[in-house]
Amino acid sequence: PKVSILPIVAPMFLVYWYWVLDEVNGRWSDITTELAQRIFGHVVLAGLVALGVFFISAPYAFLDVGAFMGDLATQANMARSAGLWPFTIQYIDTPAFIYQIQQSSVWGLGLPLGIVAWASIPFTIAVAAFSGTNRRADLFLLAWVVPGFVFLETFEVHFLRYVFPLMPIMIIMGSRMLLWMVTAYRPLQVHLVNRSIDPARFLPGLAIAVVVLVVAATGFYALAFQRVYAEDHPAVTASQWINDNVPPGTAIVSDNHWDEFVPDLYSYNVWQFPVYDADTLDKMNALARELASSEYVVFYSSRPYTSVARDPERFPFSNRYYQGLFNGSLGYELDREFTNYPELLGVSFRDDAISRAGLQRPVALNPIANPVISLDLGYADDNVVGYDHPRVLLFKNSAHLTEGLISIRLKTNPQPQDGRKVGLLLLHDDLMAQQEGGTFSDIVDRDGWTNDVPVLAWLLVVELIYLVALPFTMFIFRPLPDRGIILARIFGLLAVSYVAWITVSLGWMEFSRWAVYLGLAVVAGLSGAALALKWQEITEFVKVRWRLLLLGEVLFLIAFLGFVLLRYANPDLWHPFRGGEKPMELAYLNAVVRSTTLPPFDPWFAGGLLNYYYWGYFVVSSVIRVTGILPTTSFNLAVPMFFALTITGAYSLVYNLTEGV
């Protein structure tokens, strides 16, 4: 038993829900204490029966409850966090929902049955929502599949076997969808024929053909996979070839850490590469020594090289080893591979793990004969191929490189040549854009009027953003007693800055005052739409509660100007003895203001990008880009602004809480 059984609560709840509805004919007021006690008794009985079956099937859980709960917690942690155990590293960064849908469609159920099965879920939801016929049955099936699938996708580990309990129900819903398609096309055909649409007469036949195709393809899949067991296991075939062709005592590297072994290699000097151990220099030195002295490297399956490719930061040297092995730079060549793909009538269903690992596809010195039709269906989950038909690879030491040379190549991590980011360095195009994005004087006008009266200029921009955002803020905060009129200043600054940030981050435009103007225009458009929809409601509220609007404005100005006076009395941006963080913050602010692309450049590391959170600096930089005020002055205006926003935000919170009581 595992925690994955928990979604069974949903269909059980639905059963008792239906029972209650039937007993009271849908009238909740007719529920009696006697009825509630009777149904509760059945619930308790169901729980006791489940507990009894559990005791019979798993008595050890009761013999040592502590150990059982500990094992259960271990399994739960394993499922929730990919990478805690070696066999779960392969699931790091696999996309939730998409991975299981793709794997179960292609490999678990087969095409096109997999597509039909998953398409049946939204179909059944639509039928249950818009048709009263069989609604209870539809909801019962959905109560098993939907909560179960959502629950499973909260895990980071996506073993294909996790969704096996859902597949029978999905097949039932898919079959119902296909039958509905056949029956629905008949009245549609009559309707279209009456409108003199000639192709309509083919609709019923087309629907039946789809059903036949699904059934036939599923049968073909099943027979092809069944034929896997008509041949020897690839690992057994590889073992037989090695024993027949490789002299006893030959040194062999077995790359099967936390995996099955190629059997019957007792006559050979086999060393297992501990790929999942920490990537240390000692580990690489041992590998270099064994590669130099061995004649072959054998893989039981693709799990080692596909797994470590999912976590390159944890296994940088091991990934370098696989790259060198597969591209031949370590002196090894692929001698032969042993496979047993599902195949029927000359059609083979091939999986491809090498592409998923990002490795160069080696050409075998002794290639195997290909079937008439070979369908490459992409990566197959380890649950699909790992047990009964893995792809066994045998690499031969052709160049016999020295241990020293192999060691150097294992430890050398060449810079990628495909334009990917390297560490925290800016890409070449981004670096050029940053360097060519204009000078500091293009951004800040020292002699402009905004630097003559910076407090006024700053306030004008902040107030403009506030007024532009006010209608939209009142629209989305309608449930609040103050309708969000005090929060509008905070919301407006965040919204305008976010639009500018997202457009620059996506590379749609460079960071300039025009990006901020775009953000202002978007917020203005939303406010215009809000006014069009709720003009009377918004204007009536302002007329009635104008004192609240005025109070919020006065409170902001008093807090802002009061703190400006405080900064005016002590404008230094450093601690008199220890310096403090102000110089760092000013450096980051200058970097964000000066940046053309995002993330910003690092002011402390030439050619690098900023490895620090910078959203707050970006909000301030957006105002600076519009006003052109010097960053040193802007810093002393931003601190009072955040203080005033905090004061007004706190006032709005207290007001809404007290008015709402």
190 pLDDT tier (thresholds 50, 70, 90)? low
312-324 confidence digits (pLDDT tens): 999 999 999 999 9
User: Residues with Cβ < 8 Å from 398, sequence gap 6 or more?
Assistant: 331, 332, 333
Residue pair 609/619 in contact (Cβ under 8 Å)? The answer is no
What pLDDT is stored for residue 418 in this prediction?
Answer: 47
Q: Per residue in 91-105, pLDDT tens?
A: 999 999 999 999 999
**pLDDT for 376 beyond 60:** yes
Which of 168-172, 186-190, 197-201, 652-656 is predicted most confidently?
A: 168-172
- CA-based radius of gyration for the chain: 34
Helices (H), 478-512: 488-505
Residue 185: name the closest of 197, 170, 202, 171 by CA.
202
Give the pLDDT score at 300.
97
Q: Position of tokens 């302002």?
A: 542
Q: Check residue 1 and give its pLDDT.
A: 44
Structure tokens given for 630: 């010097």
Given the structure tokens 């693709």, which residue do they identify?
302
Comparing 180-184, 291-295, 412-416, 552-556, which segment has the lowest mean pLDDT?
412-416
Least confident of 56-60, 190-194, 212-216, 654-658: 190-194
Q: Is residue 439 within 8 Å of residue 369, measured between CB atoms?
A: no
Q: What element of type H or E holds 397?
A: strand 392-397
Can you tell me the mean pLDDT for 606-620?
Answer: 89
Q: How many Å apart are CA 76 and CA 316, to the nearest integer? A: 28
| Dihedral sign (CA 171, 173, 175, 178) | negative
Q: Using 50, 70 and 90 to split pLDDT, how confident is the model at 189? A: low
Q: From CA 409, how far away is CA 321, in angstroms rounded?
A: 8
Q: How confident is the model at residue 201 (pLDDT cuts 50, 70, 90)?
A: low
The pLDDT value recorded for residue 39 is 86
Provide mean pLDDT across the span 490-518: 94
DSSP 434-463: HHTS--HHHH--TTSHHHHSHHHHHHHHHH
pLDDT average, residue stretch 217-244: 95
- Residue 394 belongs to what H/E stretch? strand 392-397
199: pLDDT confidence band, cut at 50, 70 and 90?
low
Task: Taking residues 216-245, report their average pLDDT.
Answer: 95
pLDDT at 661: 58
Q: What pLDDT score does 301 carry?
A: 95
pLDDT at 576 over 50: yes
Distance CA 582, CA 635 (A): 10
Report DSSP state, residue 272: E
What number of other Cβ atoms are within 10 A of residue 474's Cβ?
24
Q: What is the pLDDT of residues 279-337, one digit of tens each?
A: 999 999 999 999 999 999 999 999 999 999 999 999 999 999 999 999 999 999 999 99
Mean pLDDT of the region 198-216: 79
CA diameter of the chain: 96
Q: What is the chain's mean pLDDT, rounded?
A: 89
pLDDT of residue 220: 96
Q: What is the pLDDT of residues 143-159, one digit of tens each?
A: 999 999 999 999 999 99
Q: Give yes or no for a contact between 612 and 591, defined as CB atoms under 8 angstroms apart.
A: no
> Could you report the per-residue pLDDT of 387-444, keeping only the tens digit for each?
999 999 999 999 999 999 999 999 886 544 444 455 678 777 778 888 887 788 888 8
Taken in order 429, 432, 434, 436, the sign of the CA dihedral is: negative
The side-by-side arrangement of strands in the sheet containing 296-299 is 269-272, 251-255, 296-299, 392-397, 332-338
- Indicate if the pLDDT at residue 196 is higher than 80: no
pLDDT of 206 reads: 82
